[in-house]
Amino acid sequence: MKQKNTLFKALSLTAGLVFSVSGFAATSWNMAVGDGGGSAQEALGLKFTELLSQKTNGQYSAKLFVNGQLGSEQATVNDAALGTLDLSIIASNNLSPFSPSMGILSLPYIFENINQAQKVVEGPIGEQLTKDAIKNANVRVLAWTYSGYRVFTNSKRPVKKLEDLKGLVVRVPKNEIMIDTYKSWGINPTPMAWSETFTALQQRVVDGQDTPYAAIYSMKFGEVQKYLTDIHYLFLLEPLIISESLFQEQSAEVQKALTEAGKEATAYSLTWLQDKEAGIKKELVETYKMQIDALTDEAKWIEKAQKAVWPKFYEQVGGKEKVNQLLRSLGRKEV
């Protein structure tokens, strides 16, 4: 028995040294996070960092910089591509200018529920989107943040039907698909960087915006927005990306740790959203006195957006067949 225990200890010691034979100094990478503390982005980033540290016996970790401290989300994609930034968590729509096929995730009403979003990004389509990002943007998707549906907020009036949007000045990301989605609903939105949004809402430069519940809470939008409308046009998926150059510099063991930490953090993000979103919604009502309404005519929103927007962007996202491939994988009717 003593001999077996000695052998077990020796094997454990050997495994523990895998990540320390190249040196004793721990490595800490910088991770850009667009949203604030308490967001789904932060939750994924913290979990990923915890897992990476565990899997490398404390040799590798990451430091989070929330609230866009390291630049706008699109700017951090460029920085990661150039190798001047290690990691970043960004909305998929902010990656699509660099890797256009990612835009398929932003087509209005492409996902009917969270299970469909999970099936796509964690399956073959998600794998292909990662390959495309490596090829087109020199960044690799390690994990996916499940941030929830982008819901609409504004400071002027309740929005319960499509006609209620008229006259409102709405901030949207600098993303063609999302801009055209609002145009299909009859208004000209105002493209604006995420980092500028709170100030623009506060100063009434714009009346409203859309983003998931967790981001509304973490960014304290309740301080400057009164009315919230549950819309379901875009389930926001926010990849954690790493500079592909940095990834390729790592040993096979570290690459494996990064990949495994990403998969486990993705699963955690899904559970986090399911556990937290209802409480966040309640907090927005109780703390900020936000009024939450449901649409009475969302079928009209769906029809207008899909008819006007989808055909325009088939080629950009990889072709109509790519869209049909996604729809088939979800058991939905092809276009």
- CA distances, 27 to each of 30, 32, 60, 257, 318 (Å): 10, 16, 5, 14, 38
Q: What is the pLDDT of residues 41-88, one digit of tens each?
A: 999 999 999 999 999 999 999 999 999 999 999 999 999 999 999 999
- The answer to whether residues 124 and 253 belong to one domain is yes
- The answer to whether residues 225 and 300 belong to one domain is yes
In a domain, 39, yes or no: yes
Q: Which residues contact 225 (CB under 8 A, 6 or more apart)?
A: 153, 154, 155, 201, 208, 209, 216, 290
The proportion of the chain whose per-residue pLDDT surpasses 70, expressed as a percent, equals 93
Strands 171-172 and 190-191: parallel
pLDDT for 154: 98
In a domain, 186, yes or no: yes
- The answer to whether residues 33 and 165 belong to one domain is no
Q: Is the pLDDT of residue 24 over 60?
A: no
In a domain, 4, yes or no: no
- The answer to whether residues 62 and 131 belong to one domain is yes
Q: Which residue segment(s) compose the domain that 116 sits in?
A: 27-147+237-275
Q: Which residue in this structure is represented by tokens 């703390």?
A: 287
For the chain, the domain total comes to 2
Residue type, 70: L
Specify whether the CB–CB gap between 59 and 65 falls below 8 A. no
Q: What is the pLDDT of residues 100-128, one digit of tens each?
A: 999 999 999 999 999 999 999 999 999 99
Token code pair at residue 226? 């009164």
Specify whether the CB–CB gap between 35 and 73 falls below 8 A. no
pLDDT for 85: 98
- The answer to whether residues 155 and 199 belong to one domain is yes
pLDDT for 69: 96
Q: What is the pLDDT of residues 208-239, one digit of tens each?
A: 999 999 999 999 999 999 999 999 999 999 99
As beta bridge partners, residue 77 has: none
Q: How far apart are CA 121 and CA 269, in angstroms?
A: 13
As beta bridge partners, residue 172 has: 191
Q: How far apart are CA 168 and CA 208, in angstroms?
A: 7
In a domain, 12, yes or no: no
- The answer to whether residues 115 and 88 belong to one domain is yes
Q: Where are the alpha helices (DSSP H) in 232-297?
A: 244-249, 252-288
Q: How far apart are CA 82 and CA 139, in angstroms?
A: 9
Query: With b meaning 16 or more CB within 10 Å and e meaning fewer, what string describes 179-202?
Result: bbbbbbbeeebbebbbeebbebbe
Q: What is the pLDDT of residues 131-185, one digit of tens each?
A: 999 999 999 999 999 999 999 999 999 999 999 999 999 999 999 999 999 999 9
- The answer to whether residues 76 and 108 belong to one domain is yes
CATH of the domain at 130: 3.40.190.170
In a domain, 56, yes or no: yes
In a domain, 129, yes or no: yes
Compute φ and ψ for 108, nearest 5 degrees: -60, 130
Q: Which residue in this structure is represented by tokens 């980092």?
A: 195
CA 234 and chain centroid, separation:
11
